[in-house]
C-alpha cells in the first residue's frame, strides 16, 4: 500500500458507534475531495487504505491537522450539526489525506487505533 | 435538507467501533464518487447529510442495494481486506447515494439507525 487516509476521532466525546461512523464518513469524503486529484485517484485505485485513530480532545485534533497542513496534506475538520448526541458545532473528527503512507505516518504515526 | 446518503452496516458482524467507522467511510467515499456529479455537488454543498443504518446480514444488505440500483441511486458495496476482525472478502457495509431524501427514504426508510 502506497497511499492512505487517516481519520482522527475525539475520544473525549465518547461518540456512539453510529455517530462515529457518520462523522468519520464526513471526514473521509471531504478530505478526499480536497486532496489533489492524482493522489485521490491513486488511493482509490489501491482500495482506499484508511485508519481510524483517536485523539484526546479538540486541541490535540487541531494540532495534528496543523501538522498535516504544514506538509501539504489535505485535511477536513468536521463539526456536527448536533441535534442529538453532542452540542451543535462540536468538532468531532478530522480527515487527513489521502496522501503517501510515509507522509501520513509522519503526522499520525504515534496515534492509537480507535 | 434535500439530499442525503445512507450507509448500511451489517449488524450480524458486530463490528468494533473503529472498524465500523473505517468501513462506513469507504462506503461513503466510493458511493459519493459514483453518484452523478450534480447530486454530489448539491449534497456536499448542503453539508453531506448522512445516516448510518443497520441491516441484519449480507443478504438483506444486497436486497436494499438492489432496490437502490433499480431506481438509479449510486451504490457501493464494501468488502473488507480482512486482516484482523473479519475474514478476507467479507461484505461489511454499503453506501447508497447521495440522492434526494425522497428517493433514499423510499429504499431505506424502514431501517433502524445503528
User: Which residues lie closer than 8 Å to B85 by C-beta, 6 or more apart?
Assistant: B13, B15, B16, B19
> Which domains, and CATH codes, for chain B?
3-108 (3.40.1490.10)
Residue B28: its chain A contacts at CB < 8 A?
25-26, 28-29
Q: Which residue has the cell 496534506?
A: A73
pTM: 0.95
pLDDT of residue B85: 79
A81 contacts on B by Cβ (under 8 Å):
47
Closest CA to B54 of B43, B64, B40: B64
Cell of B22: 473505517
Mean pLDDT of chain A: 95
A-chain CB neighbours of B26 within 8 Å are 28, 48, 50
Say yes or no to pLDDT of B84 above 80.
no
Statement: residue B82 has pLDDT above 80: no
- Cell matching residue A107: 503526522
Buried b vs exposed e over B44-55: b needs ≥16 C-beta within 10 Å?
eeeebbbbbbbb
Question: What is the spatial distance between Cα A9 and Cα A52, in angstroms, rounded to a whole number?
Answer: 7
d(CA B80, CA B56) in angstroms, rounded, equals 17
| DSSP states of B25-48 | HHHHHHHHHHS-HHHHHHHHHHT-
Q: Do A26 and B48 touch (CB under 8 A)?
A: yes
ipTM for the predicted complex comes to 0.94
Q: How far apart are CA B58 and CA B12, in angstroms?
A: 9
What are the grid coordinates assigned to B9, written together?
452496516
- Give the pLDDT confidence of A74-107 residue by residue, as tens digits: 999 999 877 777 888 899 999 999 999 999 999 9
Q: How far apart are the CA of A4 and the nearest CA of chain B, in angstroms?
A: 12
* Cell output for A78: 468536521
CA A71 to chain CA centroid, nearest Å:
15
Task: Please state, in angstroms and as integers, the Cα–Cα distance from residue B66 to each residue in A43, B49, B60, B76, following that order.
Answer: 27, 22, 10, 11
pLDDT category, B88, cuts 50, 70, 90?
confident
Answer yes or no: do A21 and B18 touch at CB < 8 A.
no
Amino acid at each position: 500500500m502506497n497511499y492512505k487516509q487517516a481519520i482522527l476521532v475525539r475520544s473525549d466525546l465518547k461518540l456512539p458507534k453510529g455517530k462515529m461512523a457518520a462523522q468519520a464518513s464526513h471526514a473521509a469524503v471531504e478530505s478526499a475531495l480536497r486532496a489533489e486529484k492524482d493522489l485521490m485517484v491513486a488511493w482509490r485505485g489501491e482500495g482506499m487504505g484508511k485508519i481510524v485513530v483517536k485523539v484526546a480532545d479538540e486541541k490535540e485534533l487541531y494540532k495534528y491537522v496543523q501538522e498535516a497542513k504544514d506538509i501539504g496534506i489535505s485535511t477536513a475538520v468536521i463539526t456536527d450539526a448536533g441535534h442529538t448526541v453532542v452540542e451543535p458545532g462540536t468538532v468531532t473528527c478530522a480527515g487527513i489525506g489521502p496522501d503517501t503512507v510515509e507522509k501520513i505516518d509522519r503526522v499520525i504515526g504515534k496515534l492509537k487505533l480507535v
